[in-house]
Amino acid sequence: MNLEQLVIKAQTESPGGAAFAEVCQRFTGLVKKYANQPHLKGIKEDAIAEGWLAVATAVQSYDQTAGVRFAGYVESRVKYAMWNLFKRERRRWQQEMPLDRGSTGDEEKSAPSWLETLAAAGDVETEVEARLTTAAVCEVLATLPAKQQIAIVKTMLGEARLADVAAELGVSPQAVYSLRQRGLARLKKELRKNSIYLSI
């Protein structure tokens, strides 16, 4: 029985049948060859697992009518499975920050280690509270009328003068001041309902 016939038989059998086992046995060397490449040395076991998964997928998805020999088809599946595994792991390696980075002896020029970065994070409670307050202010600010929003955002958060905002809105600077004050009063009132007190 040639290889293509064996694969067709494996496709019709129940999973783990004799034909499938025979196909796997024939491609053991191929899986080992690609899994033992130098760039996969650190993840050899994962590479072997990916190789066997590629063989099983190739057996299930092989279509003899496409005119491609199974040996070439399975080799390309295994080769690209290994390549994709390597790319995935390389991306992960590049994003990791090693614990001992920075301990090269040249402490002034090296970047801080992961532990130093973690220790320098500051007061987590204060940071979380500040983020929650900011989110609450943004939420309440969005409920204000548009002109009050513009007056508050541009004059208090931005660097615009009352006269600049007045020209933009087509009103007097005193009207912009009044819009800002009414908006701030409403903002404080709504935030107090949630026990958030601002000193503006």
Q: What is the pLDDT of residues 94-150, one digit of tens each?
A: 776 555 554 555 545 556 555 555 555 566 677 777 778 888 888 888 889 999 989
90 and 34 housed in the same domain: yes
Its pTM surpasses 0.75:
no
Residue 145 lies in a domain: yes
34 and 81 housed in the same domain: yes
85 and 134 housed in the same domain: no
Total domain count, the chain: 2
Q: In the structure, what pLDDT confidence band is assigned to residue 10 with cuts at 50, 70 and 90?
A: confident
Residue 113 lies in a domain: no
Q: Is the model's pLDDT at 65 over the cut of 80?
A: yes
Residue 142 lies in a domain: yes
Residue 188 lies in a domain: yes
7 and 85 housed in the same domain: yes
31 and 78 housed in the same domain: yes
Residue 103 lies in a domain: no
Range of the domain at 162: 124-193
Mean pLDDT of 7-12: 86
Q: Is the model's pLDDT at 174 over the cut of 90?
A: yes
Residue with the larger pLDDT of the pair 126 and 46: 46
50 and 89 housed in the same domain: yes
Give the mean pLDDT of the chain.
82
79 and 132 housed in the same domain: no
Residue 115 lies in a domain: no
Which CATH number do you get for residue 22?
1.10.1740
Give the per-residue pLDDT at 137: 84
Give the per-residue pLDDT at 181: 92
Which CATH number do you get for residue 157?
1.10.10.10
9 and 88 housed in the same domain: yes
H/E/C letters for each residue in the chain? CCHHHHHHHHHHCCCCCHHHHHHHHHCHHHHHHHHCCHHHHHHHHHHHHHHHHHHHHHHHHCCHHHCCCHHHHHHHHHHHHHHHHHHHHHHHHHHCCCCCCCCCCCCCCCCCCHHHHHHCCCCHHHHHHHHHHHHHHHHHHCCCCHHHHHHHHHHHHCCCCHHHHHHHHCCCHHHHHHHHHHHHHHHHHHHHHCCCCCCC
Give the per-residue pLDDT at 160: 85
88 and 147 housed in the same domain: no
Q: In the structure, what pLDDT confidence band is assigned to residue 1 with cuts at 50, 70 and 90?
A: confident
13 and 75 housed in the same domain: yes
Q: What is the pLDDT of residues 51-60, one digit of tens each?
A: 999 999 998 8
135 and 85 housed in the same domain: no
Q: Is the model's pLDDT at 178 over the cut of 90?
A: yes
